[in-house]
């Protein structure tokens, strides 16, 4: 199977090394893509492949991470982690945990909708609901990276314990920690629930995205 001229032109402009580091492009020739295997083929003994553009792009877009949490409600701290993470990967999936045994302010679907609302301008962010183990959800998403936000030393201890547990459950899943920006290090969903009924809109907007304040007010009463 031979690649088209348009496919070859686009392939030639892409990164020189596949994300999985199995193959490296050496040159693009008419109708064929000449590739030497990093696993043993030499420059003098190239391995030839005709790669379709869709397969190549799928490989190139393999840098996918998953940010899991309850997000009840989503805070400015959460949003900060989402925005920063989205700049580090090709695709970021925000996983909203659904636990029927846990009392929450917003339903899982409402939390999904709120996150979609505040991330609508982030083209590479997708929001999904999940239940069960986070590592299993990450695998189902085709990823090997969990993103976690850390606000304090207390968070680090708890996250360290969870990371060790996750590694026992799936040793191929890696956890990446992002430290909270200074202005968000004190913000938590539990704190937001405590102050929501007492704070004015301008005060509340220091903790949550302004666009979700009406929904938060409706829940708090």
Please identify which of the residues 64, 78, 111, 148 carries the catalytic annotation.
Answer: 78
Q: Which one is catalytic: 54, 87, 102, 171?
A: 102
Q: Between the CA of residue 8 and those of 20, 72, 81, 122, 200, what are the distances in Å?
A: 20, 47, 37, 30, 58
- Best CA proximity match to 208, nearest among 188, 182, 185, 194: 188
151 is catalytic: yes
180, 80 Cβ separation under 8 angstroms: yes
Whether the Cβ atoms of residue 67 and residue 74 lie closer than 8 Å to each other: no
Catalytic annotation present for 26: no
Alpha-carbon gap, residue 172 to 187, rounded angstroms: 31
The yes-or-no answer on residue 78 being catalytic is: yes
Q: Which of 60, 98, 136, 151 is catalytic?
A: 151
User: Which helix H or strand E contains 42, and what residues bound it?
Assistant: none
Just list the catalytic residues.
78, 102, 151, 189
């Amino acid at each position: 199977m031979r690649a088209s001229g348009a496919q070859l032109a686009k392939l030639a402009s892409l990164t020189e090394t596949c994300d999985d580091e199995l193959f490296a492009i050496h040159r693009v020739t008419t109708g064929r893509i000449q590739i030497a295997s990093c696993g043993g083929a030499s420059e003098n003994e190239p391995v030839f492949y005709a790669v379709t553009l869709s397969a190549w792009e799928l490989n190139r877009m393999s840098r996918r991470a998953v940010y899991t949490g309850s997000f009840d409600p989503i805070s400015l701290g959460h949003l900060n982690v989402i925005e920063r993470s989205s700049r580090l990967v090709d695709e970021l999936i925000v996983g909203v945990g659904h636990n029927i045994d846990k009392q929450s302010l917003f339903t899982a679907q409402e939390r999904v909708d709120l996150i979609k609302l505040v991330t609508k301008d982030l083209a590479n962010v997708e929001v999904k609901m999940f239940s069960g183990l986070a590592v299993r959800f990450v695998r189902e998403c085709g990823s090997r990276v969990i993103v976690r936000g850390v606000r304090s030393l207390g968070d680090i201890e708890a996250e360290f314990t969870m990371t060790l547990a996750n590694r026992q459950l799936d040793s191929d899943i890696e956890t990446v920690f992002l430290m909270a920006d200074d202005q968000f290090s004190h913000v938590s969903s539990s704190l937001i629930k405590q102050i929501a009924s007492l704070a004015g809109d301008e005060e509340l907007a220091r903790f949550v995205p302004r666009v979700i304040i009406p929904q938060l007010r409706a829940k708090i009463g």
